[in-house]
C-alpha cells in the first residue's frame, strides 16, 4: 500500500495524503477520511516519501579508502551500529586510491540527500577533498576520524597519536634501548603527528633519531627491516606506525634469527587483530579505534538532532598495549 | 535548488515539475517554461524525488554479521565497488549475533525501498531469516554469498568448499600424512560442506577421521590444538575451517616447539590476510572471496536491469594456496 493507493481510495490528491501524514493544513473531514484508510490498511510510510517531505534520507555515508583495512573496518563497524540504533542507515563508500572518486561519491550522495558524512582516516585531509565538501555537501554535517578540515560543517574525533608514539618510545628507552628507529609508511597528517611524537621522545632522551620510510604492507615492513638491520646493525628497537608493516618487520627478524625482543624490540600502531595473529604477538600503540568510532557517531547524532554543545574536535588519549615483542621491565 | 524552488519560479505545482522531469503529460508551453528554468538553474534531480516516482532508491543493502571479519570485508568491498560503478549505493548492515536484528534491518530497508539485498555468509541460511525475507522484502532481489535459501527472489554465489577441503586433505595425504585432523568452528551450511569434503577425503584415503570443534578465534584455535596434541600425540596434520582459528593453532605449535610443517602440517581456509601475517605463513584453501563478491554484484545488476539468464546459483571452484605450513612434495 503506497501513498498513491491511499490517495485513490480516499478520492484525494497525494499532496493531501502527504499533508495528513506530515501534519499540514487540511480540513477535518478530509483528515478523518484519510486517517481512517491509513489505519485500516496499516499504512507504513515510505521513508523515501518522508525523505521528500522532510529533506532527510535517514542515511549517512561512511567514506573510507578500503573497508578491507582492519582499522577502517573497526571504526566503520561502530559507526554503523551506533547510527543504526538511532535509526540511520550507513552507505559504505570505498574510495580507493583515486582522489577524484571522493568527488564522484559526494555528488551522488548529495543527490541522495544523505544526512551526514563520515570520513575515516586522515588521508582525506587534502585541499581537493575540502573543495568537494564545499561544492557538494556545504550544509551536511561531516565527521572526520583521526583528522579534521577547516570547513564550517566539518567536525573531528582524533586520537593523540603524537602522545601515543611518544609514550611507546619512552617505554623502549626506559627498558634500556638506545638505538630506536621509526618506520613511517604514509604521508598523512596522522603520520606526521606520529613522527612528531617520536622526534620529541628521542630529543627528550637525547638519543639519535633514525627515521625510515616504506610502503604500508607486510612486504614494505620486510624490505625496510632488512635494510635497517643491514645498515644499522646496532639498532635495538623499531617503532612502526602501522601494525601490518610491523608484522612484516617481525617476519624478517624471525627469518634472520634475530631474537625478539631481546635483541630487537618491536612496537606497532593501531592495536589491530594483526597484533595477535602475528607471532610473537605484537605490542602496539592503541589509538582507540572503537572509542573513536563511537564518539564520532554520537557527535553526528547530536548534530542531526540539532542539539547544542557539539565540540568541533574531540581528542582521545592513546594507550600502549604490551605483548611479546617488548621487553619486560 | 529543489523541485519546490523550480515549481515556485515557474508558477506551477511540484506535480507539474515532476511530470516534466519524468516525461509525463503536460502542455508544451508549460514544459518549455519548466525546462528553461531547469537548464538555467543547472538542476540536479534529487534521487529521493526520483525514487518516489520510480520506486527505486538506487541503494542496495549489504547484510553481514560483522564487517570487522576480514573475509566479510573482502566480499563487501567488491560488492560495493561493483555496485557503485553501476550507480548504486551500498547500505552496510552489521547484524551481530542476534537473530532478531535481521528482521529489524529488513523492515527498515523495506521502508527505504532498497533495490536489492546481499547476505554475506551462510549464517543467514535459517528458517527465521527466510521468514523475514518473505515478510519484508518478498519482491526484492536477494543475493546470498556462500549460501542460498529456497525463496523465489533469492539467488546465490557459492564456492565449492567441500571440494576445496577435499583437495587440501588429499594434498596432505600425498605428502605422507596419515593422522589428519579437522577443526570446525561454526554450525553453518558452509561448515557442513567443509566437513563433508574432509570425510570424503579420509574415506577415499582409508584413514581414520579425527574431528574436533572449537570457537572461531585465535584462542579457540589455541585451546583445541593443545588438546589435540595432548590426546593424539601422533597427529601429523591439522586442517582448520577458518584462517583465524588456524593461526591460533600455529601459535600453539610454535609455543610447544612442534616443528611446522615437519612434525605437524597446517592448512587454513579463506586465504585471508591472516595467512601472511601469521608466522610461519599459513597455507589455505582459497574459496575465492573476491570472485564471489564480484559475481554476486554482477548477478544483482542483471536482476535490477531485468535482464534474462540470471542463474539461480553459481558455484565456483576452490583453489589451494601453499605457503610455509605445508611440506614440499
HEC assignment per residue over chain B: CCHHHHHHHHCCCHHHHHHHHCCCCCCHHHHHHHHHHHHHCCCCCCHHHHHHHHCCCCEEEEEECCCCCHHHHHHHHHHHHHHHHCCCEEEEEECCCCCHHHHHHHHHHHHCCCCEEEEECHHHCCHHHHHHHHHHCCCCCEEEECCCCCCCCEEEEEECHHHHHHHHHHHHHHCCCCCEEEEECCCCHHHHHHHHHHHHHHHHHCCCCEEEECCCCHHHHHHHHHHHHHHCCCCCEEEECCHHHHHHHHHHHHHCCCCCCCCCEEEEECCCCHHHHCCCCCEEEECCHHHHHHHHHHHHHHHHCCCCCCCCEEEECCEEECCCCCCCC
- B50: in domain: no
Taking CA–CA distances from A243, the nearest residue in chain B reads B277
Task: Write out chain B residues lying below 8 Å of A253, CB-based.
Answer: none
Instruction: Note the pLDDT tens digit of each residue in B145-172.
Output: 988 888 999 999 999 999 999 999 999 9
Grid cell digits, residue B256: 610447544
Contact A46 B52 (CB under 8 A): yes
Q: How close does chain A come to B43, measured CA to CA in Å? A: 11
Q: Can you give the pLDDT at residue B149? A: 86
What's the CA angle centered on A184, arms A178 and A187, to 5 degrees?
A: 145
B270-283 per-position pLDDT tens digit: 999 999 999 999 99
- Using the beta-carbon criterion (under 8 Å), do A94 and B111 form an inter-chain contact? no
Q: Is residue B322 one of the residues assigned to a domain?
A: no
Indicate whether B139 and B172 sit together in one domain: no
DSSP A104: H
- Cis-peptide into B280, omega within 30 deg: yes
The rounded distance, in Å, linking the Cα atoms of A199 and A217 is 23
* Segment 233-252 of chain B within 8 Å of chain A by CB: 244, 247, 250-251
The interface pTM score, or ipTM, of the predicted complex is: 0.83
> Residue A196, exposed/middle/buried by CB under 10 A (0-12, 13-18, 19+)?
middle
How far apart are the C-alpha atoms of B158 and B296, rounded to whole Å?
9
B-chain residues near A246 (CB < 8 A):
none
Calpha distance B312→A74 (Å, rounded): 34
B81 vs B32, residue with greater confidence: B81
The answer to the question of residue A130 being in a domain is yes
What's the pLDDT at A123? 82
Q: Is B279 in Cβ contact with A278 (below 8 Å)? A: yes
**What residues of chain A lie within 8 A of the CB of B4, using their CB?**
none
C-alpha cell belonging to residue A314: 574531540
Chain-chain contact of B92 with A76 (C-beta, under 8 angstroms): yes
Residues A117 and A143 in one domain: yes
Q: In sequence order, what DSSP letters do the residues of A167-223 get, joined into one string?
A: HHHHHHHHTT---EEEEE---SHHHHHHHHHHHHHHHHHT---EEEE--SSHHHHHH
Using CB atoms, pick whichever of A76, A89, A108 lies closest to residue B112: A89
Q: Which residues of chain B lie closer than 8 angstroms to A61, CB-CB? A: 89
Selected residue of B58, B66, B67 to mutate for chain A interface (largest A Cβ count, 10 A): B67
Contact A92 B90 (CB under 8 A): yes
pLDDT at B43: 65
pLDDT at B36 over 60: yes
Q: Do residue A8 and residue A66 come from a single domain?
A: no
Same structural domain for residues A130 and A67? yes
Q: What confidence tens digit (pLDDT) does each residue in B107-155 have?
A: 999 988 899 999 998 788 888 889 999 999 999 999 999 888 889 999 9
Is B52's CB within 8 Å of A52's CB?
Answer: yes
Question: Length of chain A in residues, anyone?
Answer: 329
pLDDT of amino acid B148: 83
Cα-based angle A158, A159, A165 (whole degrees, multiple of 5)? 145
Residues A239 and A186 in one domain: yes
Q: Reply yes or no on whether the pLDDT at B48 is more than 60.
A: no
Chain A residues within 8 A of B276 when measuring between CB atoms: 218
Q: How far apart are CA B93 and CA A92, in angstroms?
A: 10
Pairs across A and B, CB distance < 8 A: 140
Range of the domain at A38: 3-45
Q: What is the pLDDT of residue B101?
A: 86
The C-alpha cell at A248 is 612484516
Please measure the distance between the N-terminal and C-terminal CA atoms of chain A and give it in whole angstroms.
Answer: 69
Residue B327 within a domain: no
How close is the nearest chain A Cα to the Cα of B35, in Å?
19
C-alpha distances out from residue A108 to A120, B45, B54, B86, Å: 18, 11, 17, 12
d(CA A209, CA A207): 6
In contact, A155 and A304? CB cutoff 8 Å: no
Q: Are residues B155 and B303 in the same domain?
A: yes
CATH number for A67? 3.40.50.2300
In this structure, how many other beta carbons lie within 10 angstroms of the beta carbon of residue A42?
7
Residues of A in contact with B87 (CB under 8 A): 108
- Percent of chain B surpassing pLDDT 70: 94
CA nearest neighbour of A123 among A283, A276, A242:
A242
A173-232 residues touching B, CB cutoff 8 A:
218
pLDDT computed for residue B254 by the predictor: 97
Q: Are residues B155 and B184 in the same domain?
A: no
Strands in A59-64's sheet, in edge-to-edge order, are: A313-316, A154-159, A142-145, A116-120, A59-64, A89-94, B89-94, B59-64, B116-120, B142-145, B154-159, B313-316
pTM here is 0.85
Residue-level pLDDT at A132: 93
Contact indicator for B165, B198 with CB cutoff of 8 Å = yes
Per CB-CB distance under 8 Å, the chain A contacts of B74 are 68
Kindly give, in sequence order, each residue whose CB lies less than 8 Å from that of residue A188, ignoring residues fewer than 6 positions away: A121, A122, A123, A125, A147
Residues of B within 8 A of A74 (CB-CB) are 68
The rounded distance, in Å, linking the Cα atoms of B329 and B323 is 13
Q: Quick check: is B124 in a domain?
A: yes
Separation CA B151–CA B149 (nearest Å): 6
**A91–B59 CB contact, under 8 Å:** yes
Across-strand partners of A60?
A90, A116
Cross-chain residue pair B68–A73, CB shorter than 8 Å: yes
At residue B46, the pLDDT reads 56
Identify the pLDDT of residue B16. 84
A249–chain B nearest CA distance, Å: 10
B interface mutation test: which of A92, A243, A270 has the most B CBs within 10 A? A92
B282 and B166, same structural domain? yes
pLDDT by residue for chain A (329 residues), tens only, comes to 667 778 888 888 877 887 787 677 888 888 888 888 877 766 655 555 555 455 678 999 999 999 999 999 999 999 999 999 999 999 999 998 776 788 999 999 998 889 999 999 888 888 888 999 999 999 999 999 988 888 999 999 999 999 999 999 999 999 999 999 999 999 888 999 999 999 999 999 999 999 999 999 999 999 999 999 999 999 999 999 999 999 999 999 999 999 999 999 999 999 999 999 999 999 999 999 999 999 999 999 999 999 988 999 999 999 999 999 999 98
Chain B residues touching A135 at Cβ < 8 A? none
C-beta neighbour count of B120 within 10 angstroms: 31
Q: β-pairing, A180-184 with A237-240?
A: parallel
Tell me if B326 is assigned to some domain.
no
Task: Please tell me the total count of domains within chain B.
Answer: 3
Clarify whether residues B171 and B272 are in a common domain.
yes
Specify if A51 maps to a domain.
no
Are B130 and B242 found together in one domain?
A: no
Residue recorded with cell 570446525:
B184
Cell numbers linked to B237? 596434520
Cβ separation of A111 and B73 shorter than 8 Å? Answer: no
**Cα angle value A287/A289/A294 (rounded, 5°):** 130
**Cα separation, B325 vs B282, whole angstroms:** 5
Which residues of A, range 15-74, sit inside 8 Å of B by Cβ?
15, 44-49, 51-52, 55, 57-59, 61-62, 66-68, 70, 73-74
Nearest CA in chain B to A15: B15
A109 and A125 fall within a common domain? yes
CATH code for the domain in which residue A41 is found: 1.10.260.40
pLDDT at A45: 58
Is residue B51 domain-resident? no
Mean pLDDT of chain B: 91
Looking at the structure, tell me whether residues A110 and A95 fall in a common domain.
yes
What CA–CA distances, in Å, run from B220 to A271, B23, B251, B257, B300?
20, 61, 11, 19, 36
CB A201 within 8 A of CB A170: yes
For residues A85-105, one letter each, b for 16 or more C-beta atoms within 10 angstroms of the residue's C-beta and e for the rest, the string is eeebbbbbbbbeeeeebbbeb
Distance from CA of B28 to the nearest CA of A (A): 24
pLDDT tens per residue across span B282-302: 999 999 999 999 999 999 999
Task: Classify strands A283-286 and A265-269 as parallel, antiparallel or unpaired.
Answer: parallel
Q: How far apart are the first and last CA of chain B?
A: 69
Q: Which residues of B touch A66 (CB under 8 A)?
A: 77
pLDDT value at residue A127: 87
Amino acid at each position: 500500500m503506497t501513498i498513491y493507493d491511499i490517495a485513490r481510495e480516499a478520492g484525494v490528491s497525494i499532496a493531501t495524503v502527504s499533508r495528513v501524514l506530515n501534519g499540514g493544513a487540511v480540513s477535518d473531514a478530509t483528515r478523518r477520511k484519510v486517517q481512517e484508510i491509513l489505519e485500516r490498511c496499516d499504512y507504513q510510510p515510505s521513508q523515501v516519501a518522508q525523505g521528500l517531505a522532510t529533506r532527510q534520507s535517514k542515511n549517512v555515508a561512511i567514506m573510507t579508502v578500503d573497508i578491507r583495512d582492519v582499522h577502517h573496518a573497526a571504526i566503520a563497524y561502530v559507526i554503523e551500529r551506533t547510527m543504526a540504533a538511532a535509526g540511520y542507515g550507513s552507505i559504505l563508500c570505498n574510495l580507493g586510491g583515486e582522489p577524484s572518486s571522493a568527488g564522484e561519491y559526494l555528488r551522488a550522495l548529495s543527490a541522495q540527500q544523505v544526512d551526514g558524512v563520515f570520513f575515516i582516516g586522515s588521508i582525506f585531509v587534502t585541499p581537493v577533498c575540502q573543495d568537494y565538501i564545499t561544492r557538494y555537501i556545504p550544509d551536511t554535517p561531516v565527521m572526520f576520524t583521526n583528522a579534521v578540515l577547516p570547513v564550517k560543517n566539518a567536525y573531528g574525533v582524533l586520537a593523540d597519536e603524537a602522545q601515543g608514539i611518544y609514550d611507546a618510545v619512552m617505554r623502549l628507552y626506559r627498558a634500556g634501548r638506545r638505538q630506536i628507529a621509526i618506520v613511517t609508511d604514509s604521508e598523512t597528517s596522522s603520520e606526521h603527528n606520529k613522527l612528531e611524537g617520536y622526534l620529541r621522545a628521542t630529543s627528550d632522551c637525547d638519543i639519535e633519531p633514525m627515521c625510515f620510510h616504506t610502503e604500508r604492507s607486510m612486504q614494505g615492513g620486510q624490505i625496510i627491516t632488512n635494510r635497517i638491520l643491514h645498515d644499522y646493525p646496532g639498532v635495538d628497537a623499531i617503532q612502526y606506525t602501522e601494525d601490518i608493516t610491523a608484522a612484516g618487520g617481525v617476519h624478517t627478524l624471525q627469518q634472520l634469527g634475530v631474537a625478539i625482543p631481546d635483541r630487537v624490540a618491536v612496537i606497532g600502531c593501531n592495536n589491530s587483530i594483526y597484533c595477535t595473529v602475528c607471532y610473537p604477538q605484537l605490542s602496539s600503540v592503541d589509538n582507540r579505534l572503537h572509542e573513536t568510532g563511537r564518539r564520532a557517531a554520537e557527535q553526528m547524532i547530536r548534530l542531526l538532532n540539532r542539539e547544542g554543545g557539539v565540540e568541533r574536535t574531540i581528542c582521545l588519549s592513546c594507550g600502549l598495549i604490551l605483548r611479546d615483542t617488548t621487553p619486560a621491565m
